[in-house]
Amino acid sequence: MAWDFHSLFKAHAKEIARYLQRRGTSADLAADFTQDAFARMMAAPPTAQIDNASAYLFRIARNVAINHNRRQQIIPFVDDPEAVLLELADEQPSLERVVISRQELRLLKAFFAELTPIQQQIFLLSRIEGRTFAEIGKSLHIPQQTAYAHMTRILVRLKLRLDAPAGGI
């Protein structure tokens, strides 16, 4: 099923964020979780049978918040979470993984070059530095909602690129 994500976003983004805030999530995290919910919905297989897009978005957002809270509860029990992750990581990726990673990197590099400078900054601050949209807005002197809207458009374009034949490569 194909959805008009722009219309869905306009119709439901604020109410999803408010729903998450009523469940105890901060405003900044609620905005991030809402964006993640839309990104996950866009990533749903086209064969998925989803009758109620609104309910599906709320469920995804709720699950994102629950997973975040679970991770936050686990971290205090581990002395050095990074050390544990390093022990679990495989030091030698397979040749196939190396080739796929290089293709993905070329695709992302080309995609990134097509973004405007402000979009590049928003993408880096959000996805690389892990900043919230409120922080991004303050550092770039733009409204939080503008940063959020830019990131949503970036992710939609990236999804379309990745879904193109042969992965957009």
Question: For residue 85, what is the domain's CATH number?
Answer: 1.10.1740
What is the C-alpha to C-alpha distance for residues 121 and 36, in angstroms, rounded to an integer? 19
3 lies in the same domain as 81:
yes
Of the three residues 43, 68, 89, the one that is the final residue of a domain is: 89
Over residues 41-88, the pLDDT tens digits come to 877 766 566 778 888 888 889 998 888 888 777 766 656 666 656 666
**Predicted confidence band of residue 115 (pLDDT cuts 50, 70, 90):** very high
100 with 47, same domain: the answer is: no
pTM: 0.45
pLDDT in tens, 85-103: 666 666 677 778 888 888 8
Query: For residue 169, what pLDDT band results from cuts at 50, 70 and 90?
Result: very low
Query: What is the predicted pLDDT for the residue at 79?
Result: 62
Please indicate, yes or no, whether residues 169 and 100 belong to a single structural domain of this protein: yes
Q: 132 falls in which pLDDT band (50, 70, 90)? A: very high
> In the structure, what pLDDT confidence band is assigned to residue 126 with cuts at 50, 70 and 90?
very high
Of 27, 61, 89, which marks where a domain is finished? 89
